[in-house]
Chain A
């Protein structure tokens, strides 16, 4: 699998670290935080197809990326820099 880093160009998977999908995590200070986390971890949607994921280019430009990937085929459909509010 190769990821097209917007800064570095196309790079091998080994340069990146996976951080999960781009859905925001529940608020850990909420009153029903344990239920929210249960839902987020066990009851989340996991559609066959395109996912948006956070990857960190640890061995390259050290940018966080939002990568669109088809989890059925591992086809990478694009990557953009993750910026606050842009993901």
Chain B
């Protein structure tokens, strides 16, 4: 058995048999699903119906508000125009009203624009106020149109609504919603890579520090080259990571499934949609869903998956080499902070660039540039791939990534080689630079 596979095996089993690893492997999905269930349970709970008193001295608007009263509406409007407004204001608390909407009598309806008051002891939500403004404004507009002797029906007919359909040059029909799916897929993969790098890169670093503080490292590198040890460590840790991730996904999915059956909770975006609405849109939805699935199949699935594997390997190895070198340079984990910041920064940056720039325009200069830079390309390029990327850009990006990877491994191995035998002091950046020249 070759030496590197021996090291990989040891690293893998050392990680996998670790108690905290086992606990985290089985506890994390439980926590995650627990939180998901809790959140969707909360959001599916019916909120208390709030009563809002309408005191309409004009007699024009109360009807419009009453028309809003439905089962689903969180607010119940009561027409109390006959009751004195001052009395209403004073009895908000005793009657349990959310508030009183006072629409005073004015000479002309247009004068009302700034005179309407909502009196409440609480702080009304923005959507409630906007809704009320909308109802009143629409009514006033209608009255204005009638006063001008314009045919409101004709105007309504004349109003056009436009819906642009998206299609490819190949003539296939597309869906607008698909962009969101592309963003979701790219984003999920990009995020996955970032999480993986941070969690398991740290693990590589800890394992290097452990060997250093144990002092076993001197025995090991009297048998193997530091480079072999470093690569073995990175691969062994990543295999343990992949195993953990796989278990998470399997447990998470089955728990999620079990929970949704058991609690009867719709987990996911559908949780807020009322059953009536789904039924109503069922026929339309079925057509859309078919189109959606067809479109999903038309996505460059092969490119996405291959891209994910390539960028995952490249990105993880690149960053793990940094983590390994940092672990070798320091004596304990607290000392590693100053060196970790420059490693975390490009990761954060790529996620932000991904979510702000790629989502807006996958082919913007910024998105293209960051999908070329090796430290950010694993995440940014993955987010771009679902939107289609010219092959030459992919070629340059992958070449740069693996070129940099080799360079960084070479540098990291140098720092590693010197660092693992240095004890007792926290090195400065200047010192690390000197080590490169030894």
Are A and B interaction partners?
Answer: no
